[in-house]
Amino acid sequence: MTDRRAFLIVMDSVGIGGAPDAGAYFNDGLPDTGANTLAHIAQARPLIMPHLDALGLGAAIRLASGEAAPGLGARPQGLWGTATEVSRGKDTPSGHWEIAGVPVPWDWHYFPDARPAFPADLAQRIAQAAGTGGILGNEHASGTEIIARLGAEHLRSGWPICYTSADSVLQIAAHEDAFGLDRLYRLCQDVAAMVHPMRVGRVIARPFLGAEGSFARTPNRRDYAIAPPGPTLLDVAQEAGRATHAVGKIGDIFSHRGISALHKGRSDADLAGHLLALADQAEPGSLTFANFVEFDSLYGHRRDVAGYAAALEWFDGVAGALMARLRPGDLAIFTADHGNDPTWHGTDHTRERVPVLGWGCGVREIGQVGFADIAASVAAHLRLPPVGPGRSFL
C-alpha cells in the first residue's frame, strides 16, 4: 500500500461556463448558453481568492469560456484545467458519479413544470405512506418560497409539502416538531423506493421549523439518492483496503457505498473543520472525498450574488489552510459538479464546465479533460486499479 493520500474536494455548483451543450439545458424556458457562475460573480464584484487562483483558477475560467473574472488571473503555480461532463444532466448525482468514474448511462426522469407535477397515482401513494389525506404543493417551486407559502397550511392539515424542480428530484418539506423529523425521514425513504425505479435521482427531506411568517429550513436535510450503476472510486478504494472518508453529503450521494467514515456537519464551516482535521489525521493511502454544498443551496438557487462571492472568498481561506497542512506525497484536487449562476434567469442549476485545480502534482496545464479523468487520476495517484472510462492527467 502506498503512503500517498488523496483529497478530492467538490465546490458544489462552482461552474466556469463554456459547456458545449449548454443550449440543450434550460432555466425558466431559456437555454443555459452563456451561463458562467464564477466569471459573472467576479464581474459583479471582483473576487479575492489568492490560494485557488495561485493554482490556476483564473486561467481555468479563461480556458473554459474565454471570459475574464476580475480579481482572478494569477500565473498558475499548480495543476490546472477544466472538465466537461458527458452525463445527460446538470444535477448533483450525475456530476459526482462521473467525477468518481461512473458516467450516468441513462436519461433521468424529470417531472413536468405543470400543476400537478406528479402523476395522480404517485401523489396518492405518497399520501398513503405519510398517513395523510393528501399532499400539498405538487409543483415546481423554490424550497424557501413554498415553505413560506404553504407552511401554515401544512401545520393545519398535517399534509407534507411535495415539490420538484428542473432536476430529477422529489423534495418533501415538513415541520420538524409538528410532523416529526424521523417520520419525515421514513416517508422520504419510502418514496425513494417508489421513484428510483422511474430513474428519479433523489428524494430529499427538507425539514423546517418556526411559525407562520418565520419558517426556516433546518440543517437536517437528508438525501435519498439512487445507487450508482457501477463501482465508483470510493468502491475501488475500499475494496483495495483503503480508508475512505466522506465529508458532507458525499455519503448520501453515493448511497453510503464504499465509505469507511462519515463526517457530517450543520454548515460548511463544520465541514471545513472536518476536512482540516483529516489533513492531519487521515490514514496513509486514504481517500477523502468532500462536498461543500452551501455555494449551491444558500446562494446559487437563491440568486444571491454577494453571498456567493463571500462564500467563495471564505472557502479560499479553507483551501489555503488545507494546502498548508498537507504532507509530501499528498494530492488535493478542487473541482465542481455543475454550475448555478446567481446572475442567471430562473433558480436552477446551469450546465457548465468546471475547474480542475491540483496541489501536490507539479505545475502544469492539463487543458480540457473529462469528469471521469478526475477519478482515473486520483486512482493512479493512490496506485489503485483503474476506475471508469477516464484517463489520468497526472
DSSP string, 270-313: HHHHHHHHHHHHPPTT-EEEEEE-HIIIIIITTT-HHHHHHHHH
Among the listed residues 240, 285, 263, the one whose alpha carbon sits nearest the alpha carbon of residue 5: 285
Does 304 belong to an annotated binding site? Answer: no
Does 301 belong to an annotated binding site? Answer: yes
What is the β-pairing status of strands 26-27 and 354-359? unpaired
Longest dimension (CA), the chain: 61
Q: Name the grid cell of 219.
A: 440543517
Does 296 belong to an annotated binding site? Answer: yes
For cell 415539490, name the residue. 163
* 48-70 burial code (b ≥16 CB/10 A, e <16): ebbbbbbbbbbbbbbbbbebebe
DSSP reduced 3-state for 225: strand
The residue type found at 57 is L
Does 341 belong to an annotated binding site? Answer: no
What is the β-pairing status of strands 30-31 and 26-27? antiparallel
Distance in angstroms (rounded) separating the CA atoms of residues 121 and 127? 10
Distance in angstroms (rounded) separating the CA atoms of residues 373 and 391? 5
Does 337 belong to an annotated binding site? Answer: yes
Distance of CA 120 to the CA centre of its chain: 30
Does 316 belong to an annotated binding site? Answer: no
* 362 backbone φψ class: left, alpha, beta (φ>0; ψ -120 to 50): left
Kind plus residue range of the DSSP H or E element containing 215: none
Residues comprising the chain, all counted: 394
Distance in angstroms (rounded) separating the CA atoms of residues 25 and 17? 13
The residue type found at 270 is D
**Binding-site annotation, residues:** 12, 296, 301, 337-338, 349
**Binding-site annotation, residues for Mn(2+):** 12, 296, 301, 337-338, 349
